[in-house]
Amino acid sequence: MYDFDLFTIGGGSGGVRASRVAAQYGAKVALAEERYLGGTCVNVGCIPKKLLVYAAEFGEAFDDAVGFGWTLDGRRFDWRALIAGKDREIARLNGVYEKLLTGVGVRILREHATVVDAHTVAVGDARYTTRYILVATGGWPTVPAIPGADLAITSNDAFFLPSLPSRVILVGGGYIGVEFAGIFHGLGAKVSLLHRGSLFLRGFDDDVRRVLAAEILKRRIDLRFNTLVEKIEKGSSGIRATLNDGALVDADLIMFATGRAPNTRGLGLERAGVKLQSDGSVLVDSFSCSSVPSIYAVGDCTHRRQLTPVAIAEGQAVAETLFHDNPARPDYENVPSAVFSLPSIGTVGLTEAEARGGSAEVDVFTTTFRPLKHTLSGRDEHTFMKIVVDRRSDRVLGCHMVGPEAAEIIQGLAIALRRGATKAQFDATIGVHPSAAEEFVTMRSKS
């Protein structure tokens, strides 16, 4: 009846996973991608950003090395070499994604696709019929409508700068702004981070937010809360931002990290009867099915959690449901996440505010300590850890950390939380000594 069993629009993490698994289950699959395979994460998100974070960390590591007896002469950083190395790795990953798809018979169409109706997709001048359509078009950075906004960049552009700017203004207090503040500062730029609210990283545990703010200030980053940029204009020595308090800040680069919107414009979804929310996200049920039974959506173009592993899980579930007779839906409870700031954040489960806002009576355990490494490096940096516990059941509801290797540590704790681990079980676990991670099983005093 149809040209394809599944037609996926968008070659990011969720779309690639659904397409590849569906093809492995015997479905005839096509995937349309007009930009780059791998989506935001591989090309202008998680992967290149983490590579830049590594580069920024070396700056601090060189400083710390002196305390351990190292003498470092002729230290120099080459932005172009870093970007060239990043480009090589991204090109390699693009090739990996292509092989994953073509290796199982997925047809890749390198053009913009639109939905014509419940079972038809248009790609260029061609039309294809399909049993199911999967929308996996991700998100796209948003820019506030202020005078001179065209003089600024977004995170999409930051990975392709021809040179490292000396002075950078970052606008936005989400994870992207915070991460790039650490990147640019670590590589040697003078950084101002501006956020419209009273404290950045809304949605994270309040103690985590406060601790990270203090650590960022120790690095002499110009951190300003309750601050907006009202206009941007060219100055005598670069770009000038006028702030809501009347202050003028000069920079070589201004980057907006003020949010991302679902990338659903121009897809023809409304014409096909697909219901969208006010922000353009596709409204789906727990099986990722839209208001049109043959059209599904996964990843950042929906109204759910915007994390790469979540999109992958959603894509896997769609393939299982449609082509393996195994109705599946992702479990969004206790999904771990990280912010690769300097220092980094790792978190899983409920924040203290979320736990107290529910029906649970809560006990909270925290610890703050100077890592062993910095007893010799001399760096004024502290690690913070927090455990949120349901007093009645003793079940651990949330774990939060600010400090080196936070993501690596939190991943293991996520398994424990998913298995319903109790504080008593944490306490009974022998720690790895000496390590920061052992603090999660040695906290005894309630906050």
185 is catalytic: no
3-state secondary structure of 56: helix
Q: How far apart are CA 282 and CA 264, in angstroms?
A: 8
Instruction: Give the contacts of 418 (CB within 8 A, at least 6 positions apart).
Output: 333, 334
The gap from C-alpha 16 to its chain's centroid, in whole angstroms, comes to 18
Helices (H), strands (E): how many in the chain? 12, 22
DSSP 422: B
Beta bridge partners of 123: 113, 126
User: Using CB atoms within 10 A of its CB, is residue 247 exposed (0-12), middle (13-18) or buried (19+)?
Assistant: exposed
Percentage helix, strand, coil, to 5, in the chain?
A: 35, 25, 40
Q: Which residue has the tokens 């702030």?
A: 243
Q: Which residue has the tokens 């936005």?
A: 172
Q: How far apart are CA 386 and CA 346, in angstroms?
A: 11
The gap from C-alpha 378 to its chain's centroid, in whole angstroms, comes to 31
How would you list the strands of the sheet with 153-154, edge to edge? Answer: 153-154, 253-256, 167-171, 190-194, 222-224
DSSP run (H or E) holding 212: helix 206-218
* Closest residue by Cα to residue 121 from 102, 104, 106, 135: 135
* Closest residue by Cα to residue 149 from 231, 46, 227, 60: 231
Q: Out of 185, 324, 382, 433, which one is annotated catalytic?
A: 433
Tokens of 223: 């951190």
Tokens of 356: 């107290």
Tokens of 334: 């206790």
Q: Which residue has the tokens 């070499």?
A: 81
3-state secondary structure of 278: coil
Q: Are 315 and 298 in contact (CB under 8 A)?
A: yes
Q: How far apart are CA 255 and CA 180, in angstroms?
A: 9
Active-site amino acid positions: 433
